[in-house]
Amino acid sequence: MIDEISMEILKILQDKARIPNVEVSRQVGLAPSAVLERIRKMEKTGIIDGYEVRLNPERFSRSQISYIHITTRLHSSGKGTIGDQLAAIPEIQEVHFIAGEDGYLVKARTANTEELGDLLRNQIATIEGVIATRTTTVLHTYKETSRIPIR
């Protein structure tokens, strides 16, 4: 479904998402229009999901990463699922429903622990069906990427 050349294109884009198209075409040995056509097709078929700007969290007062385990009641009523309500909070970057704990694992970014407390008390604890939270505080991040190994 994805041939050698398209794989090559994806690898180049993973290294540098805003590389000029002519540069990609030079590297893979095709005409620019052919490369563009391949990229458009991969965008259409969902192989390429999109493009993101990565902003420096420290420049926007978002240095503190926290992982929050959220225990919920099994039969939640309320409007919408708890997962969707958590996902709507902008400080929360990831919401995962996890096995073995009847609940969710979410990743949050705040300026500091004070804002984290705010988030826990005023945004998360108020959601119908949330029983308890347990927070893991990040002291240092060695790696943080959305890049996946492709083959």
Instruction: Tell me which residues touch a second copy (CB under 8 A).
Output: 2, 10, 13-14, 16-18, 46-57, 59-60, 62, 65, 67, 81, 83-84, 86-87, 90-101, 104-105, 109, 136-151
User: Which residue pairs from 8-17 have beta carbons closer than 8 angstroms and sit at least 24 positions apart in sequence?
Assistant: 9/35, 9/38, 9/39, 10/42, 10/47, 10/48, 10/150, 11/150, 13/39, 13/48, 14/147, 14/150, 17/51
Smallest gap from residue 57 Cβ to DNA (A): 22
Judged by CB under 7 A, does residue 83 bind DNA? no
Q: Binding string to DNA for residues 110 to 139, with x set by CB under 7 A, is what?
A: ------------------------------
Residue count, binding to DNA (CB under 7 A): 17
Rank residues 32 and 83 by Cβ distance to DNA and give the closer one: 32
Residues 24-53 that bind DNA (CB under 7 A): 25, 30-34, 36-38, 40-41
Residue pair 119/110 in contact by the 8 Å Cβ criterion: yes
At residue 118's C-alpha, the angle toward residues 68 and 97, to 5°, is: 25
